[in-house]
Structure 1
Amino acid sequence: MIRNDIEKIKSRATILHKIIILIFFLGIISVFAVLSASVYFSFASPDKFNAVKGNLDWSISYTLENGSTFFIIIPFKIMQPLGPRMFSAKDALITYLLSSLLGFTLILYGIKQIANILKSTANDITPFTLGNAKNLRKLTYSIITYSLLSDTLSNVLCSLFVTKIFWVELSNIHFSALLLGGLIFIIAEIFQYGVYLQNEYDTTL
């Protein structure tokens, strides 16, 4: 009965690992797409960019050759609600795209750690290893770094390179993600302690 349950867990871990890896590679493709778009936009005419001020955010758009538009939404907590003529819409779009890559890269790094844990669960005798304890700790670091820096960096870069008015909004810190990272860090420490206890037990047999 226990053996069957273990096989089911390993089977599910294998399926989840494949899904996570697919998401990871799609994310990598998205990163290159954003980088390519940023390079393309940097050579485009500023006249094709437009900034529309909403109630809570900016809508920054670029008009393509076929008449369709590409647009992004920038919250006011990232870029101040100034007059549209007080900054370059082109600079805003490029700066926000590039700065958002940091947060996206941290997410991909965290996804890779989850994939490593699932792979270990599917293939190893036990997932309770020092390697997985390290993977959990790396996942913690990515979550904490994301919660502190992702939107904050976008806020600072938009202030420096777009509006030219330095302004930092503390609400850009994701305190819920910070708490989640702290909880996973505690789990990683307990996980590692359990691995040490298991190793001590094995050596006494």
Structure 2
Amino acid sequence: MIHNDIEKIKSRATILHKIILSVLFLGVIIVFAGLSASVFFSFASPEKFNAVKGNLNWSIYYALGNGTTFFIIIPFKIMQPLDTSMFSAKDALITYLLSSLLGLTLILYGIKQIVTILKSTAKDITPFIISNAKNLRKLAYSIITYSLVSDFLTNFLCSLFVTKIFYVDLSNIHFSGLLLGGLIFTIAEIFQYGVYLQNEYDTTL
């Protein structure tokens, strides 16, 4: 009975590993596409960029040659609602795109840890190994760092390179993410204790 339960767990872990690995690869492709787009936009004429102020955010447009447009949405908590004559729409798009890619990279780093843990669960005799405890800790650090830095850094970079006006919004710090990261860090510590107990049990056999 126990053996069957273990096999079911390993089977589910294998399926989840494949799904999340696909998400990881998709994320990597998006990062490279975003970097390529940023390089392309940096050589584009500023006249092709346009900023439209909404009720809660900016819409930054780039006019493509075939009559369509590429656009991104920038919340006012990231870039304050100034007059459009006070900043460059091109600088806003590039700065927000690159800083968002930094945040996405942090997310992908966390997903990589999940992929490694699931692979270990599917393949190893037991998931209670020291490397998995370390991966859980890395996942916690990535979530905490993203929650503290991602939007806050984007806010700061937009102030530095776009509006040239210092503006900080503390709502850009995700306190729910900090709580989640702290919870996962606690689980990592418990997991490491489980590794110790597993090793103690194995040495007594």
Identify the TM-score tier after normalising by the shorter chain: over 0.9
Structure 1 unaligned residues grouped into runs of 5+: none
Show the counterpart of 1:189: 189
Show the counterpart of 2:25: 25
Show the counterpart of 1:14: 14
* Aligned-partner SS, 1:55: coil
Alpha-carbon separation, structure 2, partners of 1:33 and 1:101 = 10
Q: Which 4+ stretches in 1 moved above 3 angstroms?
A: none
Show the counterpart of 1:42: 42
CA shift, 1:201, in A, is 2.3
Give, as a single letter, the amino acid of the residue that structure 2 aligns with 1:139: L
CA shift, 1:204, in A, is 2.5
Fraction of identical pairs, as percent: 83
Tell me if 1:67 matches 2:67.
yes
Alpha-carbon separation, structure 2, partners of 1:164 and 1:64 = 28
CA shift, 1:199, in A, is 1.0
Show the counterpart of 1:158: 158
CA shift, 1:200, in A, is 1.7
What is the aligned-residue RMSD (CA, Å)?
A: 0.7
The normalised TM-score by structure 1 is 0.98
CA shift, 1:169, in A, is 0.9
Give, as a single letter, the amino acid of the residue that structure 1 aligns with 2:137: R
How many residues get paired?
A: 205
Show the counterpart of 1:202: 202
The normalised TM-score by structure 2 is 0.98
CA shift, 1:15, in A, is 1.0
Alpha-carbon separation, structure 2, partners of 1:70 and 1:152 = 25
Give, as a single letter, the amino acid of the residue that structure 1 aligns with 2:15: I
Give, as a single letter, the amino acid of the residue that structure 1 aligns with 2:92: A
Where in structure 2 are the equivalents of 1:125-144 lying within 5 Å? 125-144=125-144
Alpha-carbon separation, structure 2, partners of 1:132 and 1:145 = 20
